[in-house]
Chains A and B, each alone.
Chain A
């Protein structure tokens, strides 16, 4: 099935939030903190605009607690007397004219008595920088299996390494945007978002309203990548506060520079590895320390850290593992969800480290990986027994042979020996990605899906899962149509409007097709039972039975429903961080060929192979698109995308100087799917969205290290960084 909303997007007819015309709408904008930390002494309003024509909101206009409802409630909706990061929202302004609104924002001065800011997560804060506990640590987590110190003491080889990654900006092409208005006493917000019910919870809390007093509608969303997981809650609150005060609809659309400067990014990370091997290269111990920069508030950092440390040990069997993780408060713009959610950082460290270990032990990097790959019956770092029948060594070998890891070795060596300034290399990474919420997360979510049977025999899929480009609309339609034997035209997927759709959980964590899709199938089965059919009924029988039900129950609503049930045998211990971290893992091996120009120190990916086992493929074009898009985002993170930080804020907040890959920067991405259906995923599917973010970083770094002998231990490997690494490698 081709993308259902595809033509509407190709022709520009799709109405995104900024395309929606609302009569009498005001423009809303934000006055932000100029300082990373300090007491707000005064807010000065100038004389450049007629303030009587502006609607102005500050923290005193918040009806409920001045808190953005998330894991913790430490983040204010609007800073009151204290600010903890540059660009923190302080005052909101609305006006009919966008120009006047801009001028008004520029006419407000926030005066801050600055206090010492903590800007470095890798070192202990000075006493005057401490703002949480006695060390600014927001959360620590630990995984421990076996006796790491004992195993390291007896290991034939111990290899250490330190690896770092920088922040990454999402650059969804549609910036954040929201419209808010009040209708019959209900606060309604409509905008670009991944998680409508997160916004509902945020509105309820800070506006002190019952659920019936708020309504959230997802507008078509021009990309998310995690960046529209938690931030839209802020924007919805801001727009709602302005709309409540103005008693008129208010639209807030971030300009690119504001979006890049003020919204969340991928957490910067530093990971230390100390790995023990026996004489044959078998991994006997992993001692891993993970630190991530949380930024100024807790936001989602503890969960990002959790996924990060669970993936830190990688797809290898090792009896003795210790992984310590911490997320640290700094006075930086808060970091948040970004495709991969902590795993790309720790998997970069691990898979770059495996090449370092291979070199140290004089082993072939593929062979070292192959002998250590987890086999059925063996356990992950958390003690989860893997028993899925997937041939992980075959995945690795497939990627290695497609890129020509062996065959190109000599070719590159002779090329590099003779070419005056070009150097070529290949690299590989093998990894896994857990699909769905971590641990008991899916159980806690209690996701719910409804399938309505309509009087004309068609059905409507009701979920809060959002289409943001990944293909949820097409996949849900396919699943319902296949399950009921109906034509795609007989399936309607409801607009995510919390007045109508149940809470099927957030659209995150690669869970939509696998987890919510499975609920769609089960809700279809339930619908069939409610109209007196067994779940093997297909096609006209189903349509007729639905129509018949309505003739017999005139005016009533017909729903099939399903609520999440965890697959049997899945158990997670959140206290000790042991057990089944995920229902299932997708497995992959990615390989890159690179060429470095020693005149400019720029590195180019010249070939890329992505081999993965993702259960069953529901829609080949959509699945391939997810992989190719994720790989290119990963190439950007590996080579180009550097957030230059100044006083905890992004300095290069423009697409002119924050460089993402163009079509000319990347090769065709060769994608191979190996299928092994997962019993508890829709049509056998596993999660797929985040997986492709994990592999490019280490595969490319390994290729660069092979080509020019640098440490390649920090991402992004920009020309500036490669030049510095070259200098220190050849001293």
Chain B
């Protein structure tokens, strides 16, 4: 299906080898949402300010709206669709989501913080979450959910 403007890009998406024909400069966000039908990642601003499109690129959170698709060739991309539901209980209880538009990005950053507990030793959760804008919750519901999850994890270790 490729024409002069597109190229085949191979990468690993949520653990599955994936090939997609898109223009190399197409934003990863558009490739995920429109070419691959993974609409969990949201567009909030299109310029890397809001974090609603946060995905992991080789394990590191990035704004998918700022990543040209060719850049993920051979890489591992993980999206909100890869996050297990059971890990979200604390955030559901704490009121971490209201309208839900920022939420997938918030969850991606929050889950990444949970995978990297060492960060919380040098930074507050408020600092670490500052790359994800939320207009509904005032952030307390989000911060409470993350801290609750961290406490649960550390008490079960």
Bound-state CA distance A470–B100 (Å) is 11
A663 touches B95 (CB 8 A): no
Q: Which of B33-41, B68-76, B114-122 contacts the other chain? A: B33-41
B42 touches A654 (CB 8 A): no
B44: Cβ under 8 A from any A Cβ = yes
Q: Which of A13, A18, A174, A663 has the most CB of B within 10 A?
A: A663
Residues of chain B contacted by A628 (CB below 8 angstroms): 137-141
Q: In the complex, what residue of chain A is closest to B41 when comparing beta carbons?
A: A12
Bound-state CA distance A471–B99 (Å) is 9
Q: Which of B42, B92, B97 contacts A174 (CB 8 A)?
A: B42
B103: Cβ under 8 A from any A Cβ = yes
A666 touches B139 (CB 8 A): yes
A418: Cβ under 8 A from any B Cβ = no
Q: Which of B37, B45, B47, B92 has the most CB of A within 10 A?
A: B45
B101 touches A655 (CB 8 A): no
Bound-state CA distance A114–B83 (Å) is 55
Q: Which of A172, A255, A664, A668 contacts B135 (CB 8 A)?
A: A172
Bound-state CA distance A170–B44 (Å) is 13
Bound-state CA distance A14–B40 (Å) is 8
Q: Which of B79, B98, B124, B143 has the most CB of A within 10 A?
A: B98
B135 touches A633 (CB 8 A): yes
Q: CB within 8 Å of B: which of A1-55?
A: 2-3, 5-16, 18-19, 21
A233: Cβ under 8 A from any B Cβ = no
B88 touches A629 (CB 8 A): no
Q: In the complex, what residue of chain B is closest to A170 when comparing beta carbons?
A: B135
Residues of chain A contacted by B130 (CB below 8 angstroms): 662-665
Residues of chain A contacted by B104 (CB below 8 angstroms): 10-12
B133: Cβ under 8 A from any A Cβ = yes
Distance in Å: Cβ of B16 to nearest Cβ of chain A: 17
Q: In the complex, what residue of chain B is closest to A633 when comparing beta carbons?
A: B135
Q: In the complex, what residue of chain B is closest to A634 when comparing beta carbons?
A: B138
Distance in Å: Cβ of B130 to nearest Cβ of chain A: 4
A358: Cβ under 8 A from any B Cβ = no
Task: Give 1 or 0 for each of A285-301: 1 = CB within 8 Å of chain B CB.
Answer: 00000000000000000
B61: Cβ under 8 A from any A Cβ = no
A630 touches B138 (CB 8 A): yes
A222 touches B99 (CB 8 A): yes
Distance in Å: Cβ of A244 to nearest Cβ of chain B: 25
A154: Cβ under 8 A from any B Cβ = no
B99 touches A223 (CB 8 A): yes
B135 touches A625 (CB 8 A): no
The verdict on A9 contacting B126 (CB below 8 Å), with A625-B95, A629-B98, A632-B138 known, is no
B43: Cβ under 8 A from any A Cβ = yes
A663 touches B139 (CB 8 A): yes
Bound-state CA distance A662–B140 (Å) is 11
Task: Give 1 or 0 for each of B83-112: 1 = CB within 8 Å of chain A CB.
Answer: 101001001111111111111100100000
Bound-state CA distance A14–B99 (Å) is 10
The verdict on A10 contacting B96 (CB below 8 Å), with A223-B101, A632-B139, A655-B45 known, is yes
Residues of chain B contacted by A630 (CB below 8 angstroms): 138
Q: In the complex, what residue of chain B is closest to A172 when comparing beta carbons?
A: B135
Residues of chain B contacted by A361 (CB below 8 angstroms): none
The verdict on A173 contacting B94 (CB below 8 Å), with A21-B37, A663-B129 known, is no
B13: Cβ under 8 A from any A Cβ = no
A173 touches B102 (CB 8 A): yes
B46: Cβ under 8 A from any A Cβ = yes
Q: In the complex, what residue of chain A is closest to B123 when comparing beta carbons?
A: A664
Bound-state CA distance A223–B101 (Å) is 8
B40 touches A13 (CB 8 A): yes
A220: Cβ under 8 A from any B Cβ = yes
Q: In the complex, what residue of chain B is closest to A15 when comparing beta carbons?
A: B39
Q: Which of A7, A174, A654 contacts B101 (CB 8 A)?
A: A174
Q: In the complex, what residue of chain A is closest to B125 when comparing beta carbons?
A: A663
Q: Which of B107, B127, B138 has the most CB of A within 10 A?
A: B138
Bound-state CA distance A175–B42 (Å) is 10
Bound-state CA distance A220–B132 (Å) is 21
Bound-state CA distance A469–B99 (Å) is 3
A656: Cβ under 8 A from any B Cβ = yes
A656 touches B47 (CB 8 A): yes
The verdict on A625 contacting B137 (CB below 8 Å), with A222-B99, A664-B127 known, is yes
Distance in Å: Cβ of A15 to nearest Cβ of chain B: 7
Residues of chain B contacted by A222 (CB below 8 angstroms): 42, 99-101
B77: Cβ under 8 A from any A Cβ = no
Q: Which of A171, A221, A222, A621 has the most CB of B within 10 A?
A: A222
B21: Cβ under 8 A from any A Cβ = no
Q: Which of A10, A13, A173, A622 contacts B133 (CB 8 A)?
A: A173
Residues of chain A contacted by B46 (CB below 8 angstroms): 255-256
Q: In the complex, what residue of chain B is closest to A8 when comparing beta carbons?
A: B100
Residues of chain B contacted by A654 (CB below 8 angstroms): 45, 47, 49
Bound-state CA distance A15–B33 (Å) is 12
B134: Cβ under 8 A from any A Cβ = yes
A621 touches B135 (CB 8 A): no
Q: In the complex, what residue of chain A is closest to B81 when comparing beta carbons?
A: A12
Distance in Å: Cβ of B120 to nearest Cβ of chain A: 14
Distance in Å: Cβ of A26 to nearest Cβ of chain B: 14
A12 touches B39 (CB 8 A): yes
B140 touches A7 (CB 8 A): no
Q: In the complex, what residue of chain A is closest to B141 when comparing beta carbons?
A: A625
B62: Cβ under 8 A from any A Cβ = no
Other than the given A5-B100, A173-B42, A630-B138, 18 more pairs (CB < 8 A) read A2-B92, A7-B85, A11-B81, A12-B103, A12-B104, A16-B100, A16-B101, A18-B43, A172-B99, A173-B50, A173-B102, A222-B100, A469-B98, A625-B141, A628-B137, A654-B47, A664-B129, A664-B130
Some 27 contacts from A to B, beta carbons below 8 A apart, are A2-B92, A6-B97, A7-B92, A10-B96, A10-B100, A11-B40, A11-B81, A12-B41, A12-B80, A12-B103, A12-B107, A16-B42, A16-B100, A172-B101, A173-B102, A174-B42, A220-B100, A256-B45, A624-B140, A625-B136, A625-B138, A629-B135, A632-B138, A655-B50, A656-B49, A663-B127, A665-B130
- Give 6 closest A-B pairs by Cβ, nearest first: A12-B40, A469-B99, A222-B101, A9-B100, A628-B138, A632-B138
